[in-house]
Amino acid sequence: FPGVVYSYDQEGVHRAGSGWEQCISVPLVQPDMPELLQHWDELLEEFSLEEAWLPQRYEEQQHNCYTFALAFVNRVRRGRGREPLSKAQFTERFLIPHTREASRYLTLHQELAHTDFYIVPLPEQEQDS
């Protein structure tokens, strides 16, 4: 879906509207909460401008894009009165389930790509009158 992706590396914070088509989107907000999504956009912009995310602060193992994402999620959680997540908790609750699902789809796609299949749409079910 369209949007802006924020990332952080040795050059600082980047904002991109394309180039992330092969990434996995991990939803953290219910889609029926547009006011919260708008609020997150504003918070993320403010957060990305903080000194912590200057290029010279980047460190490959301890202060990286993962740190950026987790710190933002924890900032929002604190604002809602919730406990911050550790790296392990964030990975286990949010990232692993989505990467497993993506892996299953990629495996299925590879199997289908290397096998001749013809997919026939099912006829529409007759509606009871």
Q: Is the pLDDT of residue 127 over 70?
A: no
What confidence tier does 91 reach under pLDDT thresholds 50, 70, 90? very high
Helix (H, G, I), strand (E, B) or coil at 25: coil
pLDDT number for residue 3: 79
Q: Do residues 106 and 66 share a domain?
A: no
Find the domain containing 41 and state its range. Answer: 5-84
pLDDT number for residue 62: 94
pLDDT number for residue 31: 66
Q: Please check whether residue 126 lies inside any domain of the structure.
A: no
Q: Please check whether residue 128 lies inside any domain of the structure.
A: no
Q: Please check whether residue 101 lies inside any domain of the structure.
A: yes
Q: Is the pLDDT of residue 129 over 60?
A: no
Q: Do residues 80 and 43 share a domain?
A: yes
pLDDT number for residue 125: 63
* Alpha carbon 91 to its chain's center: 12
What confidence tier does 14 reach under pLDDT thresholds 50, 70, 90? very high
SS3 content of the chain, % helix, strand, coil (to 5): 50, 10, 40
Q: Please check whether residue 125 lies inside any domain of the structure.
A: no
The span from the CA of 49 to the CA of 6, in Å, is 11
Q: Per residue in 35-74, pLDDT tens?
A: 777 788 899 999 999 999 999 999 999 999 999 999 999 9
